Amino acid sequence: MVTKHVDVLIVGAGLSGIGAAAHLRRECPKKTFAIIERRQNMGGTWDLFRYPGIRSDSDMFTLGYNFKPWKNDKSIADGDSILKYIKETADEYRLNEHIYYGRKVVAGNWSSASASWTLTAENEQTGETETFSANYLIGCTGYYNYEAGYTPDFPGINNYQGEVVHPQKWTDDIDYANKNVVIIGSGATAVTLLPAMAETAAHVTMLQRSPTYVATVPEKDEISIRLRRYLPEKVVYHLARARNVALQRTIYELSKKRPKTMRRLLLGAARRQLGDDFDMRHFKPRYNPWDERLCAVPNGDLFKVLRKGKGSVVTDHIDTFTRDGILLKSGKELKADMVITATGLDVKIAGNMQPTVDGKKVQVNQCLTYKGAMLSGVPNFSMVFGYTNSSWTLKADLVAEFTCRLINYMDKRGIPYCVPEAGPDDASDGPFLDLQSGYIQRAAHQLPRQGRRGPWKVVQNYFRDIPMLRFGRLDDGILKFAEPRTKPLTQIPLDRAFTAIGRGIDRWLTGHH
């Protein structure tokens, strides 16, 4: 028995899912929809992560939705402010009544006969199985496992007598005041934790196997703050958005085309903030800029803490955990009352849902990505996967717009479904994401593939995606449409309509009927 049937079903009520629902409200106002969310709250990442200092790692003018201006003075925002922004969006577009919380989607089957998806979900409060059906499915589950992060098998960890915490499992009752803390990791989470904890802890050490590029960004956008005095909020927002997108893209392109120049600039900026006596070995990665994601720190807070001596960085490998801390390969032991394993995410695609098409299992890692928005061979399904070299939401917005445009296109023509079909020569061995980050490499076998050309390539470029997703032809010969099942909606020009009506009246009055 179907618990709920809607036109469009969204899985996930995080930043992407709430955004997709808002786009539906704006662009497909007559469509019914529902959102299935595994957790008991909306917000996704921004509700789940509670560790000290949690914040965006890119500016909110580009991480925010294209239809809702970010009005806070801080463009690098804390987690609570981002969560508030998501909830405001849900309120403005009356989305709350459409969200089904606490539902774990375990299976999803597409039926070509009924032109619909049927999702089986477990209500984790009641233990009951519920069924949702829809004509179109949008996956907004993010890219990682919400239940647990990634933690390596550290030798001797069972001997350690202190507290071990993964940031994904942080709770408000964790006390680190006046404690010696070791953070294992060097990514965005680690560089956020160190300055946030340094004021309260006795000392915080970031233990890394290898360095990461770290760049200072302004916490506030002073230009936008001044422009707000003279221009409407939406104008200021879109000016800042355009400027920051261009800046992000320029830095990325320079990093790829002039890696030595960008490396020199990044390391030079770090040196100036750390001081001449700091051991720069801890901030000199072995790889080129943007081979892995660049870490941003607002107003150089990480560098300030290190310069004051409230925190430190150690570059070494772990030999074993001891009773009181960590013994390194160099022979040095780091004493620690608490160890935080900021060791990354456990990547999961589609929330671990096993999709089938007409009863046949879909092997996601064998699918090609169509315009970075759909999967080959999977009908009426969009997958939101944001940019890794820019703000996530830039791509999420484009995929949602594309999906709404596609739904309206099919609706107008009475088409029940469409499916991207790849040819035998379209496939390639190219990775879905061109990043060397550990969490991406560990998940390479799960991710879909990209093709050799055209819409099968994942370009990770907002300026190239805009014309393709927002304006590109839908009937491109690659996206295959089913035969219409209803008479297409036709639009008759008003002048022709009035002429026809007038003629009909004349015929009736003169008796020629």
3-class DSSP assignment, residue 335: strand
Q: How confident is the model at residue 120 (pLDDT cuts 50, 70, 90)?
A: very high
Please work out, in degrees rounded to the nearest 5, the angle formed at the alpha carbon of residue 151 by the alpha carbons of 174 and 177: 20
**For strand 374-375 and strand 369-370, is the pairing parallel, antiparallel, or unpaired?**
antiparallel
Residue of 38 and 493 predicted with greater confidence: 38
Give the pLDDT confidence score for residue 346 in this predicted structure: 78
> Measuring CA to CA, which residue among 9, 5, 57, 89 is closest to residue 292?
57
Average pLDDT in the 399-418 region?
A: 98
Give the pLDDT confidence score for residue 486 in this predicted structure: 66
Return the structure tokens found at 19. 């955004």
Find out whether 296 and 247 touch, Cβ atoms under 8 Å.
no
Alpha-carbon gap, residue 222 to 326, rounded angstroms: 43
Give the pLDDT confidence score for residue 453 in this predicted structure: 86
Give the pLDDT confidence score for residue 176 in this predicted structure: 97
Cα-based torsion angle of the residue sequence 359, 361, 364, 367 in order, rounded to the nearest 10 degrees: -70
Q: What is the pLDDT of residues 341-360, one digit of tens each?
A: 999 887 777 767 889 999 99
Give the pLDDT confidence score for residue 506 in this predicted structure: 41
Q: How confident is the model at residue 439 (pLDDT cuts 50, 70, 90)?
A: low
For residue 141, with 0-12 CB atoms within 10 Å meaning exposed, 13-18 middle and 19 or more buried, which class applies? buried
Q: What is the pLDDT of residues 258-288, one digit of tens each?
A: 999 999 999 999 999 999 999 999 999 999 9
Alpha-carbon gap, residue 85 to 426, rounded angstroms: 41
The pTM of the full predicted model, rounded to 2 decimals, is 0.91
Q: How confident is the model at residue 432 (pLDDT cuts 50, 70, 90)?
A: confident
Q: CB within 8 A of 226, min separation 6: which ones?
A: none
Cα-based torsion angle of the residue sequence 126, 131, 134, 137 in order, rounded to the nearest 10 degrees: 70
pLDDT at 249 over 70: yes
Handedness of CA 472, 474, 476, 480 (dihedral sign): positive
Give the pLDDT confidence score for residue 468 in this predicted structure: 96
Rg (C-alpha) for the chain, rounded Å, is: 26
Find out whether 446 and 426 touch, Cβ atoms under 8 Å.
no
Above pLDDT 70, what percent of the chain?
91
Q: What is the pLDDT of residues 32-66, one digit of tens each?
A: 999 999 999 999 999 999 999 999 989 999 999 99
Q: What is the pLDDT of residues 353-379, one digit of tens each?
A: 889 999 999 998 889 999 999 999 999
Residue 40 to residues 82, 101, 124, 289, 464, Cα–Cα distance (Å): 18, 5, 10, 39, 37
Please work out, in degrees rounded to the nearest 5, the angle formed at the alpha carbon of residue 281 by the alpha carbons of 277 and 287: 145
Q: What is the DSSP letter of 467?
A: I
pLDDT at 512 over 80: no
Residue of 508 and 471 predicted with greater confidence: 471
Q: What is the pLDDT of residues 133-191, one digit of tens each?
A: 999 999 999 878 778 888 899 999 999 999 999 999 999 999 999 999 999 999 999 99
Alpha-carbon gap, residue 211 to 207, rounded angstroms: 10
Q: How confident is the model at residue 30 (pLDDT cuts 50, 70, 90)?
A: very high
Minimum mean pLDDT among 168-172, 283-287, 430-434, 474-478: which range? 430-434
Find out whether 279 and 115 touch, Cβ atoms under 8 Å.
no
3-class DSSP assignment, residue 316: coil
Give the pLDDT confidence score for residue 144 in this predicted structure: 80
Minimum mean pLDDT among 210-214, 399-403, 426-430, 437-441: which range? 437-441
